[in-house]
Amino acid sequence: MAVSSFLTFVLAALCIASSVSANYTFDLFEGTALQDEVANKSPSELDYTTGGGVPYPQPYEAQRVSETGPLLTQDFHLIESLAHFHRERVPERVVHAKGAGAHGYFQTTTDVGKKYSMADVFQRVGEKTPITMRFSTVGGEEGSADVARDPRGFSIKLRTKKGIWQALSLVYSPALTDLIFLRDWVWNNTPVFFIRDPAKFPNFIHTQKRNPQTHLKDKDMFWDYLSSNPESLYQVMRLFSDLGTPYGFRHMNGWSGHTYRLDYKLLKIRTVKEDDSWHYVKSASLQKRCFQQALIKILCRFSAYTDQGIKNHTNAEATALAGSNPDFGTQDLFEAIEAGNYPSWTVYVQAITPEAAKTFRCASTFTSDAQKMDAHHSPGNVLDLTKDWSEQDVPREEIGKLVLTQNPKNYFAEIEQVAFAPGHMVAGVEPSEDPVLQSRLFAYPDAQRYRLGVNYQTIPVNCPFAPVANFQRDGRAVHDDNQGSRPNYPSTQEKLNLPKRPYNDANHTIWTGGAVRYLSEVTDVDFEWPKYFWGNLTNQDQDNFIENVVGHLGLATSETIKKRQLALFAKVNKSLSQRLAQGMNITM
């Protein structure tokens, strides 16, 4: 009996030891996967729970001492509910706070993009690339009217598939052929902007927002800046035409504004010489051809023209809508997509060689039927954000279509949290030296780090459909496995593969000269596009422009500011300035 008991004890101990030593693991991310699944279920399939998933019988009840006594702090459900509510809002965007958006696709429709760039998105006619688009006003807060007189943001996040360039930039594997990389187009609904000197941007935006004392929109601040910075005039004139109050978001165009570089890879045959010059001959000594990659670089600007046709509100219509339906643009976009009336835009590129850019003219021989006015050829800067590119000089060429087909299921998750950054570029596209673009390369992702946290790129709407492997770790709101157990430094023991360069760009642009403090100057060239714009408005559009400016500038209290702005309009057209002065009862 004793022996039997002893054997039973030993067997039990062995079983326990075996159980303890078993290699037990579980999937840490099973919970997040389950929440994604639950998000698509109807409420009737689910029970109400706490944030920890514990079933809870009544969302409205609270624990207290009797029916008339104080609350109990042990009421975890109530405390959790209140604490989460206090933290629901993230900081709104410092600009472009009010917006709407949707998902869809970009479809390459021609070989034009392929002609200019190796970027994968342009390589295959007919291929569709998933996109998320967001439209917005610039100066308004999140709860402001989206019909306000303001430029509109026009941003697109393209999730481009792996193509030839990606095969060169990664260790090739058939499993990688469906990787999707992010590319952001961060545009506006105007081809130009108010500034070309990046240091002016924060101060300009301050004048478009609220007075620091009264907390009211201040027309003196607004016009004080614009009248003191005449390079803004072309954008001002577009803004105070009816283009400044578009009919929602579907009936307006979009422009990149900035100039970009497109890279096209070209294989050239050469012999090896000391000066590394190119020769299209066989090497006599090696009896073989030596290949090296060279790049053709093109300067370009992008645009997207609405297929719905341009449609605008008059000032009276926009003002009325701001009171009756301040979310008109948001509603119009959502309801159109919901009804299957999918909005679309045709995407174009304007391309110019660096050689042609040296003699570029910011205003071609403009002809106005309204005024029979000609603007002379003037030296221009292809990087100037306050100047458009004339289609007479640089024709538009179609490259594709943008189509929106899918409304967000959750606005906050998919539109409020979407983060655009012009530095998100794929091989074949580079930034130019435009100083405003260069500043945005830093400012946009930095703003997202402040608003959404340093790990904003792991939020689903911002996350690439491709492996991310680097040494960035930790920080607020880690949404994934934080790259697991891999080293967080360039380890010699567990090395990351270093991909091949997508192309050999050995001959970078060479800059010479010392550091300078630069601020652009205003010249007569800055008034050529405003002259052209005014001369091509219809009589009715000119009348509306006069009414719009009088109704806004006329409310400024400073006569000095008014006269300074009128003097700028006089450089565009004397009759224009006189009509504005008459409308505001000002003697010039």
pLDDT by residue for the chain (588 residues), tens only, comes to 565 666 666 666 656 555 555 577 777 778 778 888 888 888 888 889 888 888 889 999 999 999 999 999 999 999 989 988 998 999 999 999 999 999 999 999 999 988 888 888 888 999 999 999 999 999 999 999 999 999 999 999 998 754 222 222 222 222 333 445 567 889 999 999 999 999 999 999 999 999 999 999 999 999 999 999 999 999 999 999 999 999 999 999 999 999 999 887 654 434 334 444 333 333 333 333 344 445 678 899 999 999 999 999 999 999 999 999 999 999 999 999 999 999 999 999 999 988 888 888 765 444 443 333 333 333 458 999 999 999 988 999 999 999 999 999 999 999 999 999 998 888 788 899 999 999 999 999 999 999 999 989 889 999 887 788 888 888 887 878 888 888 888 888 888 888 777 666 555 566 667 788 888 899 999 999 999 999 999 999 999 999 999 999 999 999 999 999 999 999 999 999 999 999 999 987
Phi, psi of 184, deg, nearest 5 = -110, 130
On whether both 144 and 43 belong to a single domain, the answer is: no
pLDDT score of 298: 87
Number of domains in the chain: 2
On whether both 327 and 444 belong to a single domain, the answer is: yes
Cα separation, 581 vs 587, in Å, equals 7
Strands, DSSP E only, in 307-444? 344-352, 397-406, 429-431
| Helix residue ranges per DSSP H, 431-558 | 435-452, 528-535, 539-553
Token pair listed for 316: 């009276």
Instruction: Provide the 8-state DSSP code for 530.
Output: H
DSSP annotation string for 433-450:
S-HHHHHHHHHHHHHHHH
| Torsional sign, CA 434, 437, 443, 445 | negative
On whether both 80 and 152 belong to a single domain, the answer is: no
| Torsional sign, CA 218, 223, 224, 229 | positive
- Picking from 411, 429, 462, the residue at the C-terminal end of a domain is 462
Token pair listed for 374: 């000609």
Token pair listed for 310: 């341009």
pLDDT score of 110: 96
pLDDT score of 143: 92
Half-sphere exposure of 429 (CA within 13 A, CB side): 23
| Domain annotation covers residue 570 | no
- Picking from 396, 430, 462, the residue at the C-terminal end of a domain is 462
- Picking from 416, 439, 462, the residue at the C-terminal end of a domain is 462
Cα distances (Å, whole numbers) of residue 229 to 195, 408, 558: 8, 40, 17
Closest to 227 (Cα-Cα) out of 580, 587, 582, 533: 580
| Domain annotation covers residue 237 | no
| Domain annotation covers residue 538 | no
Contact 214, 224 (CB under 8 A): no
Half-sphere exposure of 468 (CA within 13 A, CB side): 18
On whether both 134 and 80 belong to a single domain, the answer is: no
Contact 234, 389 (CB under 8 A): no
Q: Which residues contact 198 (CB under 8 A, 6 or more apart)?
A: 435, 436, 438, 439, 440
On whether both 303 and 395 belong to a single domain, the answer is: yes
Q: Which residues contact 120 (CB under 8 A, 6 or more apart)?
A: 160, 161, 162, 163, 164, 165, 166, 181, 426, 427, 428
| Domain annotation covers residue 568 | no
Which amino acid is residue 80, in one-letter code? E
Q: Find the largest Cα–Cα distance for the chain.
A: 121
| Domain annotation covers residue 428 | yes
**Which residues are catalytically annotated?**
96, 188
Cα separation, 182 vs 424, in Å, equals 7
Bridge partners (DSSP) of residue 133 are 102, 156
Cα separation, 273 vs 276, in Å, equals 5
Structural domain containing residue 304: 99-193+247-362+382-462
| Domain annotation covers residue 547 | no
On whether both 84 and 105 belong to a single domain, the answer is: no
| Domain annotation covers residue 506 | no
On whether both 43 and 170 belong to a single domain, the answer is: no
On whether both 312 and 293 belong to a single domain, the answer is: yes
Burial 286-310 (b: 16+ CB within 10 A, else e): eeeeeeeebbebbbbbbbbbbeeee
What is the CATH classification number for the domain harbouring 186? 2.40.180.10
Angle (deg, nearest 10), helices 559-572 and 574-583: 150
On whether both 185 and 292 belong to a single domain, the answer is: yes
pLDDT score of 507: 53
Strands, DSSP E only, in 209-284? 254-255, 260-270
On whether both 295 and 179 belong to a single domain, the answer is: yes
Token pair listed for 390: 């004339």
On whether both 129 and 81 belong to a single domain, the answer is: no
Query: CA angle at residue 584 from 583 to 588, to 5 degrees?
Result: 100
Closest to 271 (Cα-Cα) out of 288, 259, 258: 288
| Domain annotation covers residue 261 | yes
On whether both 274 and 406 belong to a single domain, the answer is: yes
